[in-house]
Structure 1
Amino acid sequence: MVKVIGVRFRTAGKIYFFDPGALEIKRGDHVIVETARGIEYGTVVGDPREVDEKKVIQPLKPVLRIATQRDDEQEAGNKEKEKEAFKICLEKIRKHGLEMKLIDAEYTFDNNKVLFYFTADGRIDFRELVKDLASVFRTRIELRQIGVRDETKILGGIGICGRQLCCHSHLSEFVPVSIKMAKEQNLSLNPTKISGVCGRLMCCLKHEEETYEELNRRLPGVGDHVTTEDGLKGEVQSVNVLRQLVKVIVDVGDEKEIQEYRVDQLRFKKRHKHNKMDAKEAAELKELEKLEKEEGKSKLDDN
C-alpha cells in the first residue's frame, strides 16, 4: 500500500495521485506539484489515503509544497493573463484567416507554456500562428485541437434537466455512452431528446444504467405472453420499469381487456427479441449510431 492524495488542476478535471510525504495536507488545500507539463498549482480533492501500489503509476511524484499566499497570488495573476492571451490569440487567428474556433487559453503555473484549446472541422495548419504567438508571449506555445465534448466541458452550460452540465460540474472523465443504455431505459431514440449540449449522447445515460439493467431482468418484454395469478392469459402491452408494473392485454370471456399487474403477480418465460422498427425509427437509430462512433478520448488532461 502507498499513501497518496488526489489533485485536480481544473474544475471537474481528472484526478491525479501525488505523494504527500510528511506534509499535513487536507481536502480543499492548494498544492504545488511537478507534472509532465511543468510546475502546476492544484486543488486537493480528498484527504490522504492508502491505495494499492498497482493502482498508482510509479514513480509517484511528491507534493513540492502547500501553496503559499504568494502562490495563490501568482495563480490569480495567471488567470488574468489568460484572459488577455485569449484576446490576443483571437486577433491572430483572424489575421491569419484560419477556420478555427478558440475555446480557452491556459498558462502553466510557472509560465513555461501557454496552451490554446480550439475546435475545427478538419486539420488546421497553424504553424505560422504558433510563430506569431511565440513572438508575442516569449514562451512555449501549444495549440491543441479538442472535440465538442471537451469544448462543452470547458464552457459549461445548463442541461435539459435544468441543472449544470455533468461534465462541467463533477464528471472527472468521459464515460463510454451507448445506444443500448437508452434502449434499456425505454427512452425515445430521437437524437434530439437524448443528445446533450455537445451534440453527443448524454453522459447521464450512464448514471442509472446498472439500476435499469437489474430492474429489467425481473420484467417480461413487450409482446411476451404471460399468465396472471388469477389464471388469465395475455400479452404484455407495456411495462413500468421503476414501479415494476406490467400492463397486460388479457382475454376475459369473448373480450380483451388491459389490466395492470405487479411483476410478482405474473408467470412468464422471458424471451429476447428485436422490436420491428419503422423507417423513421431506423433513421433515428442510424443517426444515434453515428454519434456513438464519434465519441473520443478527452484531450484536456496530460499531466
Structure 2
Amino acid sequence: MSDETASVANSPRLVGVRCESGGGVRPYSCGALELQPGDQVVVETERGSALGTVVRSDLLRPVEAGAKLGRVIKKADGRDLAREDANLRRQREAQRIALHRIRERGLAMKLISVECSFDGGKISFYFCAEGRVDFRDLVRDLAHTLHTRIEMKQIGARDETRFIGGIAACGRELCCASWLTEFEAISVKMAKDQGLSLNPTKLAGMCGRLKCCLRFEYLTYRELGRRLPAIGSAVACVKGDGVVTHQDVLKQTVKIRHQDGSETEASLEELVERKAQP
C-alpha cells in the first residue's frame, strides 16, 4: 500500500457540504453517518453550527495532521428546517433594517450579505467600503433593535463576488461561489508562464481581480516549461542549429530560427545538445 493510499485509508470519512449561508463546498467529517447527496445536515463550523446540504458523499482525500476539519453533527430534522426558515425570515428583516439605518446615517458602505447564525445568537453583516467606516453607532442601534449580538465584517471585491455569485466567461458557475474554500495569491506571471494574452480585461474575473483559475494549471505549465530550452538560447538540432524563438509547453516542442532565417519546430528528442550562449 502506498503512503498516499494509506493516508487516505486512515483519514476520517468525509462528505462535501454546501452551507445554506453560501460559499463553496467544504469537506466535513461524517463519522458513521450514512449520507447521500441531497441530504440536509447540521454541521459544526468555525463560526458555530450551520445547516447545509450534502453535495458529495464520496470524498477521498488525506487530512493533514493538525488540520482543522468541521464535522457533521446530525441529519437535519423538521425542527432544524423550521429553525432555518425562521432564520431566513429574520435575515431578510435584518437586512431591510440595516439598509435603512445605513442610508439614514449616510454611511459610505455597501451592504452585501446578512447571515444569521443557526442558533440565532448572532447576526453578521458583510459590507464593502472604499476605506475605514466607523460603524460603532450602527452596531449599537442594530443590537438594540434586533435584540442579538451584531458582527460587522468588511470584505473585499473577491468575497463580494463570492457572496453574489454568477456565471464565469467559461460558462460555468463562478469557482469562488461553487467550490473554492479559500482565496490564494494570483499574479500576472502565472498568465505569462502559461502563454496567455496579457490583456487585463481577459485576465480579470467578475470581481475585477485576476481570475482564480490562472492558478489551477500554473504548476503543470511551470514544470513542463523547465524541461524546454529557454527562449533565446542556442541549441543543436537534427534539423539544424539555431536559436529558440518560441516554446509550446503542452506539446513539449520549440521553434528554432536558423542562420538563413528559416524556422522549424523540434521536439526535445530532436535536440542533440544545448550549446552555451555565445
TM range (shorter): 0.7 to 0.9
CA distance in 2, matches of 1:153, 1:41: 19
2:51 aligned with 1:41: yes
CA distance in 1, matches of 2:270, 2:222: 21
Contact (CA 8 Å) 1:245, 1:261: kept in 2 or not?
yes
CA distance in 1, matches of 2:61, 2:167: 37
Deviation string, structure 1 residues 192-250 (Cα, Å, up to 9, x no partner): 332222222211011111221232122222211122213x2111222222222322211
CA distance in 2, matches of 1:61, 1:160: 32
Contact (CA 8 Å) 2:236, 2:275: kept in 1 or not?
no
Q: Residue 187 of structure 1: which of 196, 203, 206 is its match?
A: 196
Deviation string, structure 1 residues 128-186 (Cα, Å, up to 9, x no partner): 11122122211111111111111111111233333322111221221232333222212
2:218 aligned with 1:209: yes
2:245 aligned with 1:234: no
Q: Residue 97 of structure 1: which of 103, 106, 110 is its match?
A: 106
Counting matched residue pairs gives: 265
1:50 positional shift: 9.6
Deviation string, structure 1 residues 71-125 (Cα, Å, up to 9, x no partner): 2233234234323322221111100110001100111112111111001111111
CA distance in 1, matches of 2:135, 2:70: 34
Contact (CA 8 Å) 2:123, 2:151: kept in 1 or not?
yes
Instruction: Quote the sequence identity (%).
Output: 46
Per the alignment, residue 269 of structure 2 pairs with 264
CA distance in 2, matches of 1:205, 1:115: 31
Closer/same/farther in 2, CA of residues 12 and 197 from structure 1, 3 Å limit:
same
SS in 1 for 2:258: strand
Closer/same/farther in 2, CA of residues 37 and 169 from structure 1, 3 Å limit:
closer
Closer/same/farther in 2, CA of residues 11 and 135 from structure 1, 3 Å limit:
closer
Q: Residue 142 of structure 1: which of 138, 148, 151 is its match?
A: 151
- RCO higher in structure (CA 8 A, sep ≥6): 1
CA distance in 1, matches of 2:70, 2:241: 67
Q: Residue 94 of structure 2: which of 82, 85, 92 is its match?
A: 85
Contact (CA 8 Å) 1:107, 1:115: kept in 2 or not?
yes
Q: CA RMSD in A?
A: 2.9
The letter for the 1-side match of 2:263 is I
SS in 1 for 2:65: helix
Per the alignment, residue 5 of structure 2 pairs with none
Per the alignment, residue 250 of structure 1 pairs with 258
